[in-house]
Structure 1
Amino acid sequence: MTGGTGTGGRGTGGRASAGIPALDGVLSEADCLQTATAIARTQQPSGAIPWFPGGHTDPWDHIQSAMALSAAGFTTQAENAYEWCRRAQRPDGSWAAKYVGDDVDDASTDANFCAYVATGVWHHWCVTGDRDFVDRMWPVVRRAIGVVLSLQAPGGEINWKRDAAGELRTEVLLTGNASMHLSLRCAVALAELVGELVPEWELAAARLRHALDEHPERFADKSRYSMDWYYPLLGGALSAEAAEARLVARWEDFVVPGLGIRCVADQPWVTGAETCELVLALDAVGRRDDALEQLAAMQHLRDPDGSYWTGYVYPDAERWPVEQTAWTAATVILATDALSRTTPGSGLFRGEGLAPGALAGALEGTCSCPATR
Structure 2
Amino acid sequence: MISSGQVLQTAQSIADIQEDDGGVPWPEGHVDAWNHVECLMAMSVAGLTGNVERGYAWLERHQREDGSWPMKLVRGEPTELGGESNHAAYVAVGVWHDLLITGELDTARERWPMVKRALDYVVDLQTPRGEIVWERDAHGRAAGYALLTGCSSIHHALRSGVLLADRLDDPQPHWELAADRLANALQNLPDAFADKSRFSMDWYYPVLGGAVRGDQGLELLDKEWDTFVVEGLGIRCVSDQPWVTGAETCELVLALDALGDRRRAERLFADMQHLRHEDGSYWTGWQFANRKHFPHERSGYTAAAVVLAADALLGLTPGAALFRDIPSPVRQAGLTPPRPRG
User: TM-score by structure 2 length?
Assistant: 0.96
Structure 1 position 366, deviation (Å):
7.4
Q: Which amino acid aligns with 1:64?
A: E
Q: What is residue 23 of structure 1 aligned with on the other side?
A: none
Superposition deviation, residue 355 in structure 1: 4.0
8 A contact 2:149–2:201 mirrored in 1: yes
Partners of 2:152 and 2:205 within 8 A in 1: yes
Question: CA separation in 2, counterparts of 1:308 and 1:236?
Answer: 27
SS in 1 for 2:235: strand
Deviation at 1:239, TM superposition (A): 4.0
Select the residue among 17, 21, 32 that pairs with 1:58: 32
1:28 maps to 2:3: yes
2:12 corresponding residue in structure 1: 37
* 2:140 paired with 1:140: no
- Equivalenced residue count is 336
Tell me the distance in 1 between the aligned counterparts of 2:288 and 2:103: 43
* Structure 1: gaps of 5 or more residues: 1-25, 368-373
Amino acid paired to 2:93: T
Q: Scaled by the length of structure 1, what TM-score is found?
A: 0.88
Counterpart of 1:122 in structure 2 is 96
Task: Give the match for residue 270 of structure 2.
Answer: 296
Which of 319, 324, 330 lines up with 1:360 in the alignment? 330
* Offset of residue 30 of structure 1: 2.2
State the identity %: 50
Alignment partners' CA distance in 2, 1:61 and 1:113: 8
SS at match of 1:360: coil
Distance 2:213 2:236 in 1: 25
What letter matches 2:333 in structure 1? G
Aligned-partner Cα distance in 2 for 1:350–1:33: 22
Question: Unpaired runs of 5+ in structure 2?
Answer: 336-342
SS at match of 2:310: helix
Measured on the aligned residues, the alpha-carbon RMSD in Å equals 1.4
Alignment of 1:180-199 (within 5 A): 180-199=154-173
Structure 2 partner of 1:81: 55
Once the two structures are superposed, the pairs formed by residues 195-234 of structure 1 within 5 Å of their partners are 195-234=169-208
Structure 1 SS opposite 2:97: helix
Distance in structure 2 (CA, Å) of the matches to 1:197 and 1:47: 30
Compute the displacement of 1:298 (Å). 0.7
For 1:17, the equivalent position in structure 2 comes to: none
- CA distance in structure 2 between the partners assigned to 1:135 and 1:271 by the alignment: 36
The amino acid that maps onto 2:152 is A
Aligned to 1:265: 239
Alignment CA distance shift 1:320-1:145 (3 Å) = same
Indicate the residue corresponding to 2:253 in structure 1: 279
**Cα deviation code 1:153-206 (max 9, x no counterpart):** 011110011111222212210010010000000000111011112111111111
Q: What amino acid is the match of 1:218?
A: A
**Cα contact 2:276–2:282 (8 A) shared by 1:** yes
- Once superposed, which parts of structure 1, at least 4 consecutive aligned residues long, lie more than 3 Å away? none
